[in-house]
Amino acid sequence: MGDRDISETRGTAPGRLWAGWASLLAQVERLTRRADSEDLLHDAYVRMAARAGAPDNEEAFLVRAAVNRARDAYRRERVRGVQDCEDALDRLRDEGPMQDEAIIAKARLKRVSEGIDRLPPRTREVFLLQRMDNLKYREIAEKLGISQSAVEKHMARAMTFLSEWTKDW
């Protein structure tokens, strides 16, 4: 959509302002000396568009409103300090997994759970004691009355089966 299209669809004033946007922006940048001059000018334009009546001099209104917003921002920064946008984004960032990652993880967990259910009863018991209860092989052997070597063999059997069971997941 070109400049002419905007003025035709929105009337003459917005089209005229759109055509002169670069010069308005240059004025705001010169007067405020801020990196966010375009944001300030845009906010002023939105404020003007929300008003019931059009101001007598739209260009002057926009520049004055943008400069006033810059002054407000300067005063706020003097009191609160300069806010770093990266810092604000870090506070908003969600450290949790993405939805698709969570769904995939649930599916894998379900697959592993099904695999654990398919293990022989003694192997499943040894595996769960080690993985869920965090017992050492020696403690499992004492608890079940089997040798530590048997615990190692059950764990090897469980790990081999589960790695094959979940191979393509």
Mind listing the pLDDT tens digit for each residue in 16-69? Answer: 667 788 888 888 888 888 888 888 999 888 888 888 888 888 888 889 999 999
Whole-model pTM? 0.46
Regarding whether 83 and 8 lie in a shared domain, the answer is yes
- How many independent structural domains does the chain possess? 2
Regarding whether 88 and 10 lie in a shared domain, the answer is yes
Regarding whether 83 and 17 lie in a shared domain, the answer is yes
Regarding whether 38 and 22 lie in a shared domain, the answer is yes
Residue 19: which residues within 8 A CB-CB, separation 6 or more? 3, 7
Q: Which domain holds residue 63?
A: 3-92
- Measured CA to CA, the distance from residue 118 to residue 85 in angstroms comes to 52
CA 144 to each of CA 128, 152, 160: distance values in angstroms, whole numbers, following the listed order: 13, 13, 22
Regarding whether 32 and 9 lie in a shared domain, the answer is yes
Residue 6 has pLDDT above 60, yes or no: no
46-78 burial, b at 16+ Cβ within 10 Å, e below that, comes to: eebeeeeeeeeebeebbbebbbebbeebeeeee
Give the residue from 92, 109, 141 where a domain finishes.
92
Give the residue from 35, 65, 92 where a domain finishes.
92
